[in-house]
Amino acid sequence: MKNIKNQHPLPLNQIRIHDVFWQKHLDLVKKEIIPYQWAAINDQVPGAEPSHSMENFRIAAGLSEGEFHGVVFQDTDVAKWLEAVAYSLSCRPDPELEATADEVIGVIGRAQCPDGYINTYFTLKEPEGRWTNLMEGHELYTAGHLMEAAVAYYQATGKRAFLDIMCRFADYICETFGPNEDQIHGYPGHQEIELALVKLYQVTGIRRYLEEARYFIDIRGAAPNYFLEERKKPGFKQIFTEFKNYRPDYSQSHLPVREQTAADGHAVRAVYMYCAMADLAAEYQDQELLDSCIRLWNNMVEKRMYITGGIGSSGISERFTTDYDLPNANNYSETCASIGLALFGLRMARLQNDAGYIDIVERALYNTILDGIALDGKSFFYVNPLEVWPDNCMEGTSMGHVKPVRQKWFGVACCPPNVARTLASLGQYIYSADSDSLYLNLFISNEADAVVGDAALKIRVKTRFPFEGQVKIHVQADAPAEKTIAVRIPDYAREAKLKVNGQAVSLSAEKGFVRLRRVWSDDTLELTFSIPPRFVRANPNVREDAGKVCIMKGPLVYALEETDNGSRLASLYVDTRAPLLEHFEPELFGGVAVIEAKGLKISEKGWEDNRLYAENEPALEPVTLKAIPYAYWGNRTPGEMLVWMKEKL
Amino acid sequence: MKNIKNQHPLPLNQIRIHDVFWQKHLDLVKKEIIPYQWAAINDQVPGAEPSHSMENFRIAAGLSEGEFHGVVFQDTDVAKWLEAVAYSLSCRPDPELEATADEVIGVIGRAQCPDGYINTYFTLKEPEGRWTNLMEGHELYTAGHLMEAAVAYYQATGKRAFLDIMCRFADYICETFGPNEDQIHGYPGHQEIELALVKLYQVTGIRRYLEEARYFIDIRGAAPNYFLEERKKPGFKQIFTEFKNYRPDYSQSHLPVREQTAADGHAVRAVYMYCAMADLAAEYQDQELLDSCIRLWNNMVEKRMYITGGIGSSGISERFTTDYDLPNANNYSETCASIGLALFGLRMARLQNDAGYIDIVERALYNTILDGIALDGKSFFYVNPLEVWPDNCMEGTSMGHVKPVRQKWFGVACCPPNVARTLASLGQYIYSADSDSLYLNLFISNEADAVVGDAALKIRVKTRFPFEGQVKIHVQADAPAEKTIAVRIPDYAREAKLKVNGQAVSLSAEKGFVRLRRVWSDDTLELTFSIPPRFVRANPNVREDAGKVCIMKGPLVYALEETDNGSRLASLYVDTRAPLLEHFEPELFGGVAVIEAKGLKISEKGWEDNRLYAENEPALEPVTLKAIPYAYWGNRTPGEMLVWMKEKL
């Protein structure tokens, strides 16, 4: 018997979402993002930095002539586009799109070297450099994204061509990296392939892929440090000048992963690795590895995470720093890092059967991840600050990485396609299942066909969450079946009540789930809870937030924008004794609950003489503050934005 | 008749300082700093980054063998040491030290190329690179520092050897750079030589040096940009990778200087240039240039200066950013930049006959500049933040440039010798004179022999400033003489009163000076003012300081340290309605006034469960705050430091 149990998601093509909150974003995937990103990877977006990524593949395939352009991981733009396409096809068939994707896959196949290797940078530009710079070369990272895309495409279409291409590459990688003397004892500078190899194993059943993932995880951080040794070899060529003084903690290779106790280094690298660790803990029943995951998760969410689910607080190196170091204006909080956080949290929720993880996953999805993309689906945030003064976001300074408006595309374009694939695969977050139970994690209106062990259940969820706290769940069994249906009671829910077929039942949640065991045939659950807007404070050790509050409603973090509140948002105090007022604005951002608060603003009175410092007493003026969901800031006239407001004590 | 009048300092060797506040710092120059820096430039400080700068000169002189080590401007370490030695010798003769300096000068002479050129980097390492990379090469900057040292050494000792060496170099530079077709139409990437050439002109009377300074100032920023053109030339070799995307505003070459309206770019470059502009405005009676100086000064001190007199708020590129952008924790505020600010302000005060400039000069001297050096004279701050959390100052992150403790020496060691030469030449700031008037700028106990036109006055100043506001000035004329003695009334002085020979006189200050015209023979002035500790606030447009206050006493900015106030300084509120209490602690920092305030601290109560975010109401505990002068922070147990405190409203 297994000690570490695991749950699985429902297949994406068994879930049809039609949700008041998410629908407009999901619709963009097919209508805007996938076509836009297709244009982007084909360099057809005017004014955007050219990606050149499709052209690189065409050149490598012998279908075009020219030179490689872009960075070492440019291929991942194509991989992530394909993965988004795959998820989109899972939910909404589209023969034309599928034909385009098939063509791209054909090009990738032709760009594959006879030994299975795929990477247009090293094939076209640095053929002698293959595997010589694992620290920076991103070959294994790129391979991982292609593998994830291949798995998703196989699951969506049943077509094996891409999967076979990537199995050939995986076979070559398994031969190349491993413990034997004739193998390289290295591991990726940017983790990603580990979780991809687990997926490849899960769809193909080929166990060596799983073992290779474990090899990469277990060898990581062994002494002497691989990356520091690698750079001493003759002919080693530095790719990124900023890595001249490479610190192994940057890539979580300062210690074996089982000995790591804090979320350190580059945030995306970290969370992608943690995902693989969680997967391997389940596959190998590895309690020690699971304990590491719990430790790292706890450090991350209890000491190093923004209230928006953002992680990685240093603008330099996109990395974690130290406990409680969460600057709001010059942070990084990369969109991709929050995607990784959500992926890791989802795995932990399934391994630990604990909705507390979902609280964090939901926080990341509704705030930083959604913030990553404009309402029109055409521009993107890479960096997600909690406080923005557009005037300060000046190139060549400490604020140069912060953009006050979403950008069309990026030279390093990991985030836009990563958001696309996340939206396209949102269904995976909604349910978890094992042979006996179905878990409803998120309150998103949908219809799903759920296989729970030997039972087939049709589930219909209807809600106006996160604006309202009523969730109707209709369960229809093909044949009456005794199963557990577990519904998450989120940490912010107040006065939660549950009715089964109109009858109130006592609600006792365990690890955040209320579990209902019964014979299901044609039943209705009604969960109601209240989600009034609320003031939230940070642990007083978070120096940047001391004396400040933030407004939340359910999982939504709210922010002030200059458009609604004038400039100098830092001069505002919010009166936390006055009630928060909420109303729904159907025209704003496609329909949204806005929140009003009472406050005070430091006046400029007395400062008319241009003095910078003076003994003037502060003059305060009463104001009404209007807050909108953080995820939607920057969709109107550009201006200041603020999440953490000063509290009038 | 001149429209732009100018004043001059008294010669350093005519001023003997013996001051309650400054003496302990000045004593360090001869006793600690000069010997320590001598050891440093000779690589004899254990644990410090080696400078190699003397060895580079010895190698270039043919006296030693080996390779150049260090950065392109490594020679300036030696130049600044010599300049500090020169100022020290002005006040305190020391034949042994002078003999050592003479030897160094001999080495420099032997390292000079036959054409006059001096620069060990380009002589030893890149002989073909001379003048090919003005943007980064620092050849003219290094030449400027050597010229300044030569002028100071000549003034201190009357010896011409060094001056002659530097005149040969200056002659070569004048031949090389200029408007003629066979000359280079370039200018320094780092300004400094401009003000040095003016000094060289002032002691030698050789007018081409002054004209060359004007050439460099006037050609700067002409289109097309010299630096952007230069890098297109075949064989151009980048020195610093961070300048790959060079922005001309970084070096104030984005516009001709007369068209610049804001203090932009690298802060030290900017203020060194402004100094030369002020000098040239006076020498050439150039009102347009003076107007530029006034405009740039005003922008700087009204929009872009820390309360400590720090400038350059971006940790990346050590540069100015935008108006009112003054982050406290991750700023730069380089010690050298404040030195340049003081030098520029002093020139402006003399040109404009306005003590308002001295208020700023004094602020820089008593805070950021003095902060640059430890009380034992052996360690230094390059970066001067206003808020420090030692835990966050982590290499490889956005906070990596901030050091929570002073460092022994730096690879790029501009600041330590720059502080040394500033302390050694403190006398130049105390008085200004013209043929009819003597101005007392700073309240520093001293005796001086002042020549004012045809009169010789012995001045004796006695004060316990900045701890107390009584200043006794005794004036003894060799022969009775009608002159004006002007005494500064600083902006922070309260209830100022003036007595002449025991008789109260009405005190009316004009542009910050009270001017007393009389026949002086043997007279005593007594200025008394009160300088109670006070709360100072920032303009509400300074977002980082909104809702905060700072404690000052006279020119001294005060700071909280963890040693006195525990950790989590950001959780403190100060009660500005309660009085500030002051007392003198004779044992602390060699004697200092400390200030106590009443306040509140956000408690950790309710946060015992490790949650990062919660709805907990804030709990406040009453506390007493103890503040010490900012300049002295970091001289005890390392810990947090805070200047701007939250105000309890």
Q: Any idea where the domains of chain A sit in the sequence?
A: 23-425, 430-530, 534-647
SS in 3 state form for A66-116?
CCCCCCCCCHHHHHHHHHHHHHHHHHCCCHHHHHHHHHHHHHHHHHCCCCC
Q: Is A360 left (phi over 0), alpha (psi -120 to 50) or beta?
A: alpha
Burial of B89 (0-12, 13-18, 19+ CB in 10 A): buried
Of B317, B602, B649, the CB nearest to A397: B317
Q: Out of A83, A230, A318, A640, pick the active-site residue.
A: A318
| B205-237 confidence digits (pLDDT tens) | 999 999 999 999 999 999 999 999 999 999 899
For an interface test with B, give the residue of A612, A617, A620, A647 to mutate (most B CBs within 10 A): A612
CB contact under 8 A, A396 and B535: no
Interchain contact, B537 vs A316, CB within 8 Å: no
Q: Is the Cβ pair B396, A325 closer than 8 Å?
A: no
For residues B253-277, average pLDDT: 98
Q: Are A306 and A326 in contact (CB under 8 A)?
A: yes
For residue A1, count CB atoms less than 10 angstroms from its CB and return exposed for 0-12, middle for 13-18, buried for 19 or more. exposed
Which candidate in A251, A320, A328, A543 is best for mutational testing of the B interface (most B CBs within 10 A)?
A543
Count of CA atoms in the C-beta half-sphere (13 A) of B362: 25
Residue B121 sits at the vertex; the CA angle it makes with B118 and B123, to the nearest 5 degrees, is 55
Of B132-136, B175-179, B245-249, B358-362, minimum mean pLDDT range: B245-249
Write down the CATH number for the domain with range B430-530.
Answer: 2.60.40.1180
3-state class (DSSP) for residue B423? helix
Strands A645-647 and A572-574, bridge-based pairing = parallel
Using the predicted structure, report yes or no on whether residue B350 has a pLDDT greater than 90.
yes
Give the gap in angstroms from C-alpha B342 to the nearest C-alpha of chain A.
Answer: 18
Contacts of A605 in chain B (CB under 8 A): none
**Which residue among B298, B607, B614 places its CB closest to the CB of A536?**
B614
The two structure tokens encoding residue B221 = 């920023």
Task: Please choose, from the candidates A8, A12, A13, A69, the residue with its C-alpha nearest in 3D space to the C-alpha of residue A41.
Answer: A69
Instruction: State how far the alpha carbon of B607 is from the alpha carbons of A297, B415, B497, B538, B604, in Å.
Output: 19, 43, 54, 32, 6
| Nearest C-alpha in A relative to B298 | A610
Distances (CA, A) of A161 to A104, A105, A403, A595: 11, 8, 40, 51
Find, among A57, A99, A106, A109, the residue nearest to A78 by Cα: A57
CA gap A70, A53 in Å, rounded: 7
**Closest Cα in chain B, distance from residue A520 (Å):** 38
Residue of A nearest to B543 (CA): A570
Whole-number Å distance between alpha carbons of B167 and B197: 10
The distance of B570 to chain A (nearest Cα, Å) reads 5
> What distance, in Å, lies between the first and last C-alpha atoms of chain B?
56
Q: How far apart are CA A461 and CA A446, in angstroms?
A: 5
Largest Cα–Cα distance in chain A?
80
CB contact under 8 A, A615 and B399: no
Residue B177 has pLDDT above 90, yes or no: yes
pLDDT value for A50: 83
Measured distance CA(B402)–CA(B407) in Å, rounded: 11
Residue A4 dihedral angles phi and psi, to the nearest 5°: -100, 105
Which residues of chain B lie closer than 8 angstroms to A573, CB-CB? 547, 649
User: What's the rounded Cα separation, in Å, for the pair A539 and B609?
Assistant: 10
> Does B487 score more than 80 pLDDT?
yes
A56-72 pLDDT, tens per residue?
999 999 999 999 999 99
Which pLDDT belongs to residue A410? 59
Task: Please tell me the predicted confidence (pLDDT) of residue B401.
Answer: 93
What pLDDT does A412 receive? 59
Chain B residues in contact with A615 by the CB 8 A cut-off are 534-537
Q: Which CATH number fits domain A23-425: 1.50.10.20, 3.40.50.150, 2.170.190.11, 3.40.1410.10?
A: 1.50.10.20
Mean pLDDT of B252-275: 98
Q: Which residue in the list B194, B230, B318, B334 is annotated as catalytic?
A: B318
Mean pLDDT of all residues belonging to chain A: 95
Q: Angle at CA A146, nearest 5°, toward A142 and A150?
A: 170
**Contact at CB, A319 and B541, closer than 8 angstroms:** no
B534/A391 Cβ within 8 A: no
- In angstroms, the Cα distances linking B382 to A616, B266, B521 are 32, 14, 47
- E strand intervals along A237-382: none
pLDDT < 50: residue spans in chain A: none
CB atoms B396 and A319 under 8 Å:
yes
Active site residue B582: no
To probe the interface with B, which of A539, A568, A601, A645 has the most B CB atoms within 10 Å? A539
- B205 backbone φψ class: left, alpha, beta (φ>0; ψ -120 to 50): left
Cβ atoms of B417 and B372 within 8 Å: the answer is no
Query: Could you read off the pLDDT of B614-644 as tens digits, one per residue?
Result: 999 999 999 999 999 999 999 999 999 999 9
Q: Where are the beta strands (DSSP E) in B502-619?
A: 503-505, 509-510, 513-530, 534-538, 548-553, 556-561, 572-574, 581-585, 592-602, 613-614
Q: Is the peptide bond before A579 cis (omega within 30 degrees of 0)?
A: no
- Closest partner residue to A303 (CB to CB) among B317, B612, B649 is B612
Phi, psi of B222 (to 5 degrees): -65, 145
Assess contact for A568 and A623: CB atoms under 8 A: no
Quote the Cα angle for B41-B269-B490, to 5°. Answer: 100
Nearest-Cα distance to chain A for B537, in Å, is 6
Residue A541 to residue B392, Cβ atoms within 8 A? no
- Binary contact (B546, A615; C-beta < 8 A): no
Query: Considering A293, A336, A393, A414, which one is annotated as catalytic?
Result: A414
Q: Which of A301, A397, A648 sits opposite B612 (nearest CB)?
A: A301
pLDDT digits (tens, 9 = 90+) for B139-165: 999 999 999 999 999 999 999 999 999
**Residue A414 annotated to the active site:** yes
ipTM of the complex: 0.96
CB contact (8 A) between residue A648 and residue B649:
yes
Residue B238: pLDDT above 80? Answer: yes
Min Cα–Cα distance to chain A from B377, Å: 30
Chain A residue with Cα closest to B322: A392
- How many Cβ contacts (< 8 angstroms) between chains A and B? 198
CB contact under 8 A, A543 and B571: yes
Residue A378's alpha-carbon distances to A51, A70, A89, B255, B437, in angstroms, are 15, 21, 20, 36, 69
Which one-letter DSSP state was computed for residue B125?
Answer: I
Residues of B in contact with A391 (CB under 8 A): 322-323, 325
Mutation to test the B interface, candidates A397, A571, A617, most B Cβ within 10 Å: A397
The per-residue pLDDT for range B406-463, each reduced to its tens digit, is: 988 655 567 788 998 899 999 999 999 999 999 999 999 999 999 999 999 999 999 9
